[in-house]
Chains A and B, each alone.
Chain A
Amino acid sequence: MLTKRIIPCLDVRNRKVTKGVRFQGNVDLGDPIEMAIAYSEGGCDELVFYDITASAENRQIDIGMVREVARAIHIPFAVGGGIRDLDDMQEVLLAGAEKVSINSLAVENPSIIAEGARVFGRQCIVLGMDPVANPDRRRFPSGYEITIRGFRQRTGLDALEWARRAEDLGVGEIVVNSVDTDGTRDGYELNLTRLIATNVGVPVVASGGAGNPRHLVEVLTKGRADAAIIASIVHSGEYTIAQIKEELARAGVPVRKKW
């Protein structure tokens, strides 16, 4: 049986892993390579790295770091933040990343999804989306609007329509990162996650709001997610990946138990 993936997210700024709430108040947590090794050996199923300042500084992602990660761990990892074009995607993938994650770029230039899927294969192309609740059901039938640029800019796009369109264009996976729950540790946005997960044919990764293992159980069962991204719940040292997986297994969620 295919297991549900647990994916620690490492937000990186100046080669340090950092964590904030709603992209603000960031504090440094440690070295990305050391943390990647620790999580990989601790039983995570995949990792995701976001270069959180590359985009704002209009510079290329830290390729040196991607190379070091690829040398240090031998499980899949995705890289996002500051991807500007196909050349950037190629460089990240050739450096050893399994997947490349795009967000604002895909909204501003949707054809990059189709181009990336054609050149590198759709399994490499991850769409990150940052939806925020919007009660205007006439404009947003799903009840959620897509934001970009680190939640700062609204797009007028309905979350579900965008997810379906991105799937048609060729994304291999969709990360649904709820603006409303990101960093709150109050649980994932279950309705939103389920809505996307049950209406697209590609895997959906839930993100934003994990505060305890129960939250993962909920989003991987009721929320129908295929995978869950976690951050402060493990960065803080409060829980280990193994503890989270034990709780998931007890609740009947299939997880990888040997590593």
Chain B
Amino acid sequence: MSESFTETLHINRHRLIAIIDYKAGNLTSVRLAFEHIGAECAITSDPTVIASADRVVFPGVGAAGEAMRNLQRLGLVDVIRQAAQSGRPFLGICLGTQIILDHSQEDGGTKCLGLLPGEVRRFAPADPECKIPHMGWNAVRIVKPHPLFEGIEDGSEFYFVHSYYPAPSDEKYILGETDYADVRFASVIGHANIVATQFHPERSGRIGLRMLANFVRWDGKC
């Protein structure tokens, strides 16, 4: 019996978390983190699975240009847009957080999904010794309360790996901030049923798992 068939048998669509696979990086750690907290999830590129899942995770590692091309090639743009507008809880992670904005400076300028207004900028530190990518654990200052932060102390550190950062067009979309390379950037953004982290909660130990558990319990309302 094929693995995908076995997976389909066990899918309970009312509780399923769809982890969108658009060939942008390795999703194993995202899946393992959700499994660890007892959530039922599936890594999928199938629009019908994504459309019927009760929450959606939009992860990703890599470059914005190729990610957008992959989304188009796989026919996922519309279903992601629908998920974001449906009121179902929607979690962006890392590259997923960047390409839900309007535009990225990466790859000579890339038009993105525009689910939240804003752009993605490259770190440009004055200090030549400041390393890019921003890699490692850095503090997140909570600027706006959100169910995602329940039980998480202000200033807790999370694991980051990125060279570009989200810059929403309005402060009201900023939920958490982090300092690096001379900028204070939005490390957690969100609006309505959308929430998105520049860091990797699935790689951020117990506190990251707590954040994912908060997402699993969240009803998508603020």
Contact = CB atoms under 8 A, between A and B. Distances in A.
A74 interface: yes
A250 interface: no
B4 to A, nearest CB: 15
B137 A45 contact: yes
Contact of A3 (B25, B132, B136, B202): B136
B62 interface: yes
A5 B160 CA distance: 12
Nearest to A93: B26
Contacts, number: 88
Contacts of A1: 138-139, 179
Contact of B32 (A40, A70, A93, A203): A70
Interface in B163-222: 179-180, 202-209
Given A1-B179, A3-B136, A121-B25, A74 B209 contact: yes
A163 to B, nearest CB: 13
Contacts of A123: 61, 133, 135, 161
A251 interface: no
Determine chain A's interface SS by DSSP, over half rule: loop
A245 B133 CA distance: 24
B33 interface: yes
Given A98-B203, A121-B25, A258-B156, A2 B209 contact: no
A76 interface: yes
B69 interface: no
Interface residues of A, number: 33
A74 B138 contact: no
Given A121-B62, A203-B135, A76 B203 contact: yes
B153 interface: yes
A38 interface: no
Given A3-B138, A98-B203, A258-B153, A75 B32 contact: no
A258 B207 contact: yes
A176 to B, nearest CB: 14
Nearest to A197: B129
A194 B161 CA distance: 23
B159 interface: yes
A223 B203 CA distance: 27
Given A45-B136, A96-B32, 16 more contacts: A1-B179, A2-B138, A70-B29, A70-B32, A74-B33, A74-B202, A74-B204, A76-B159, A96-B26, A121-B25, A173-B135, A256-B137, A256-B157, A258-B156, A258-B207, A259-B207
3 tightest A-B CB contacts, nearest first? A96-B28, A256-B157, A256-B137
21 contacts: A2-B134, A3-B137, A71-B32, A74-B206, A75-B159, A75-B203, A76-B203, A93-B26, A93-B28, A94-B28, A96-B29, A121-B62, A123-B135, A172-B135, A173-B135, A198-B129, A201-B131, A202-B133, A256-B157, A258-B157, A259-B206
